[in-house]
Amino acid sequence: MVMDDEQGNKRSKLRQDALDIALNQVSGVNGWYTSKLQLQLASLQLCLACRRVPTSHLTVERDVLALLWPHSAAEATRSRLVSLGQSRVPALRPRKVTWNLATLSMRHCGDAFESVDVLVFGDSFDYRVDRVTWPPGLKKLIFGKDFDRSVDRVAWPRSLKQLTFGTGFNKPIGSVSCSDSLQQIAFGTCFNQPVEDVTWPASLQELTFGREFNQPLQGVTWSASLQKLTFGRYFNQPIDRVMFPASLRQITFGFSFDQPISDVLWPVSLKRLVFGYWFNQEVHEVSWPASLEELSFGIKFQAPVDGIDWPDSLQRLTIAHRPSMPLQM
């Protein structure tokens, strides 16, 4: 609804009068400010102080005012408006940004995103990102469900710690050069690309594959710092020749996994091992890691477990169709 000047002025005055009454009521008979001008100046200082503290979440759509960030054109416009007494809005410097425009538009943001440590590309975003100038302190980068562009030429920010791809991403990653600071990578539903030639970042601690991933793991060189490895619904590849890193503490297999594990060389530091719905393989000959604390089998598991020499470290054995059993060693 668009109001004319007379209506707007009347409503503005009514709002100001209501604010006057409310402030005086909560602050005593004498009030705590001497004039509306003083209140406006105090509000401006509060606004400036809030904008200097980069804690807000900015969602950038087509209709977001460019005046919210200080690129050169907006800065000039803001300066002109301030000189005319029409605007006192300070630049917004958010910590988290959800971006729903083309990446080309990011070039006009100047230093507005210097404080951003979380950048989310919206669900409809599907543009190249190989020429993006990333915020210098970016720690977390999330792509929405429609993103499916090559990332093999992307220069990731050195500060990046977490990278998440959305539902639609399914591009080769063998030539991708990841940031050395990266600690977590998660692939979404559709990703199903070979990973034998991937050079994982040395700092990687958590790796998650989504629903469609079903690629061989033999020959994969894992990060020596990897601690948590998760496979999605359709993964069902042999793992008896896979060289898991010694650093792994948790492995989760999804719904479809049903491969023999008697000859698997498990990581020496493994503490939690989870098998999904369809797993139903013999486990009497398995060499369980001495560090294992928790072991879970899915609802289709029917193999006998009596007489198995469990590791002394095992604290809980869960079989889906039987009660969860704390072990008494």
- The pLDDT tens digits for 48-106 are 666 565 557 878 787 665 555 554 444 454 455 444 444 555 566 778 888 887 765 66
Q: Is residue 40 a part of any domain in this protein?
A: no
Q: Is residue 288 a part of any domain in this protein?
A: yes
**In the predicted structure, residue 30 carries a pLDDT above the cut 80:** no
Question: What are the Cα distances from residue 254, in Å, to 203, 251, 324?
Answer: 25, 10, 19
Percent of the chain with pLDDT over 70: 68
- Distance CA(233)–CA(66), nearest Å, equals 43
Higher pLDDT, 245 or 104: 245
What is the average pLDDT value for the chain, to the nearest integer? Answer: 82
- Distance CA(287)–CA(307), nearest Å, equals 14
**In the predicted structure, residue 120 carries a pLDDT above the cut 90:** yes
Q: Is residue 220 a part of any domain in this protein?
A: no
The range of the structural domain enclosing residue 264 comes to 227-329
Q: Is residue 97 a part of any domain in this protein?
A: no
Q: Is residue 316 a part of any domain in this protein?
A: yes
Contacts of 50 (CB under 8 A, 6+ apart): none
Q: Is residue 246 a part of any domain in this protein?
A: yes
What residue ranges in the chain does DSSP mark as E strands? 57-60, 96-99, 118-121, 140-142, 162-164, 184-186, 206-208, 228-230, 250-252, 272-274, 294-297, 316-319, 325-326
Q: pLDDT, tens digit, for every residue of 194-241?
A: 999 999 999 999 999 999 999 999 999 999 999 999 999 999 999 999
- Distance CA(252)–CA(303), nearest Å, equals 19
Q: Is residue 32 a part of any domain in this protein?
A: no
User: HSE (CB half, 13 Å, CA atoms) of 55?
Assistant: 4
pTM attached to this predicted model: 0.77
Q: Are 171 and 151 in contact (CB under 8 A)?
A: yes
N-term to C-term CA, the chain:
73
Q: Is residue 325 a part of any domain in this protein?
A: yes
What's the pLDDT score for residue 96?
Answer: 86
DSSP 5: H
If we measure between CA atoms, which residue out of 57, 149, 138 comes closest to residue 102?
149
Q: How many domains does the chain have?
A: 1
If we measure between CA atoms, which residue out of 200, 212, 166 comes closest to residue 186?
166
Q: Among 2-16, 50-64, 121-135, whose mean pLDDT is lowest?
A: 2-16
